[in-house]
Amino acid sequence: MRQSHLFTKTRKEAPADEVAKNAQLLIRAGYVHKVMAGVYAYTPLGLRVLENIKQIVREEMNAVGGQELIMTSLQPKDVWEETGRWSDETVDVWFKTKLQDDTELGLAWSHEEAIVSMMAQYVHSYKDLPISVYQFQTKLRNELRAKSGIMRGREFVMKDMYSLHATKEDMDEYYDKVVEAYKRIYERLGVGADTFVTFASGGAFTKFSHEFQTLCDAGEDVLYIDKDKTVAVNEEVLDDAIAEIGISKDELSPTKTAEVGNIFKFGTEKGEQMNVTFKDADGMDKPIYLASYGVGITRVMGVLVEKFGDDKGLVWPEAVAAYKVHLVGLNLEDAEIKDWADGVYTNLTKAGVEVLYDDRIEARAGEKFSDSDLLGVPYRVVVSKKGKENGQFEVVTRATGEVRQLTEEELFTDFS
């Protein structure tokens, strides 16, 4: 992509009402546009990052047999009344609206009831189970406060997977497989070492759910972690967990973290409430078992910004970056240099490298470098008059600041 074709521009200042570091940097670099508190549009740069995160999650969900589908945002009242989750007292984040005949509708903040209601049409026998389905869905949540940028949106993208089973054993086994899939996701996103499977508050069916929590100063949670990093407990269940696991509170230190995933065994709760059953091998009606598995896609993007961004701007892990190489052209007012730089861009792109090419003629070198730092593309490659004369390219790794001088051959070998 030629930078001169991007409609977004970098900004020196974020909007005054934006207090979160993640949103400040993303707005300044032109990855997101703030529509209102907790509601952000994703520009071409931001959408590329989101799609990269989604693709990693998609691959790992497919690898555990998940089938992608897409549910609806509009939700009928009756389905959620069956489980008592329609009431604003029980669920305080509903956005609600009405059809023209005054029929009340909800806007989906989660999809357990929607999935179970749909599956009632497809699941009749134990032979129809297990089933695992997932979606990337825009969720709407009427959050009272929305001051954490894209880490807590009123409109945000979530991957939510739901698995249905005939037995507790089958659910437990699959749940453990998904835990491993989640670990691979955070590993691939570059936060594996800082992400903990955490005991969190459960529900009717189990004492604990599991959260995936990533060390992050901007996080809204506090985790108690032991020194070997093998046990992590959300402070909201600290006393219960200590009693259950038999660990001493003294061995645990509090740390700020951000929730990047949450997985949950509903067991037979929804099946019983909604009367969704199947016939077992003996012809008996049994309620289905359900577990659900969420990854906040936009939140993860925010966490990556918070963790890796520095005082110069964004720093994207290579696996999710909008582009791998930021080709920064200098001396482009010289037509000969411009032709040559254009050629390097074309050849890198043809070699399959994802390149953002700063082809702006009027911008000064200093402006280009500070924009490049702000945009956070993993590798900055400078094409300049001096470089052309020396037959060398200066390559700077954004995350470490490491500077290398590569020949054209080395450049292509390294990046393609």
Over the window 18 to 57, marking each residue x when it contacts a copy of itself by CB under 8 A and - when it does not, the resulting string is: ------------x--x-xx--xxxxxx-xx--x-------
Helix (H) or strand (E) holding 264: strand 252-267
- For the chain, the first-to-last Cα distance in angstroms comes to 17
Nearest to 364 by CA among 392, 332, 407, 387: 332
**123 is a site residue for a copy of itself (CB under 8 A):** yes
Give the nearest distance from C-beta 241 to a copy of itself in angstroms.
32
Pair 288, 278: CB distance under 8 Å: yes
DSSP letters for 239-255: HHHHHHHT--GGGEEEE
Q: Given the rule CB under 8 A, which of 96-104, 285-293, 342-350, 363-371 is the region that contacts a copy of itself?
A: 96-104
Verify binding: residue 383, a copy of itself, rule CB under 8 A.
no
Name which of 66 and 387 has its Cβ closer to a copy of itself: 66
399: DSSP letter: T
* 142 lines the binding site for a copy of itself (CB under 8 A): yes
Q: What string of DSSP letters covers 287-335?
A: EPEEEEEEEEHHHHHHHHHHHH-BTTB----TTT-S-SEEEEE-STTSH
264 binds a copy of itself (CB under 8 A): no
By C-alpha distance, which of 167, 126, 405 is closest to 414?
A: 405
Among 19, 59, 63, 74, binds a copy of itself (CB under 8 A): 74
Q: Does the protein bind a copy of itself through residue 6 (CB under 8 A)?
A: yes
By the rule CB under 8 A, 72 interacts with a copy of itself: yes
Distance between CA atoms of residues 372 and 404, nearest Å: 17
CB of 144 to a copy of itself, least distance (A): 5
Q: Is 401 in the site for a copy of itself (CB under 8 A)?
A: no
Q: Give yes or no for residue 70 binding a copy of itself (CB under 8 A).
A: yes
Structure tokens given for 377: 């593309």
d(CA 258, CA 273): 32
Site map 151..180 versus a copy of itself, x via CB under 8 A: ---xx-------------------------
From 54, 73, 226, 340, residue interacting with a copy of itself (rule: CB under 8 A): 73
Nearer to a copy of itself, 105 or 399 (CB): 105
Q: Positive or negative CA dihedral for 153, 155, 159, 163?
A: positive
Torsion of CA 336, 341, 343, 345, to 10 degrees: -170
Under the criterion CB under 8 A, does residue 279 sit at the interface with a copy of itself? no
Q: Which is nearer to a copy of itself, 73 or 370 (CB)?
A: 73
Q: Is 122 in the site for a copy of itself (CB under 8 A)?
A: yes
Instruction: Tell which one of 140, 181, 197, 344 touches a copy of itself (CB under 8 A).
Output: 140
Answer yes or no whether residue 361 interacts with a copy of itself by CB under 8 A.
no
Integer Cα distance of 174 and 48 in angstroms: 31
Interacting residue with a copy of itself among 58, 76, 183, 404 (CB under 8 A): 76
Residue choice 55, 59, 65, 402 for contact with a copy of itself (CB under 8 A): 65
A 10 A CB-CB count for 229 gives 11
Q: Which of 307, 326, 327 is nearest to 317 (CA)?
A: 307
The neighbour count for residue 400, using CB atoms within 10 Å, is 8
- Is 119 one of the binding residues for a copy of itself (CB under 8 A)? yes
133 binds a copy of itself (CB under 8 A): yes
The contact set with a copy of itself (CB under 8 A) reads 5-9, 30, 33, 35-36, 39-44, 46-47, 50, 65, 67-76, 95-100, 105, 107, 114, 118-119, 121-123, 128, 131, 133, 138, 140, 142, 144, 154-155
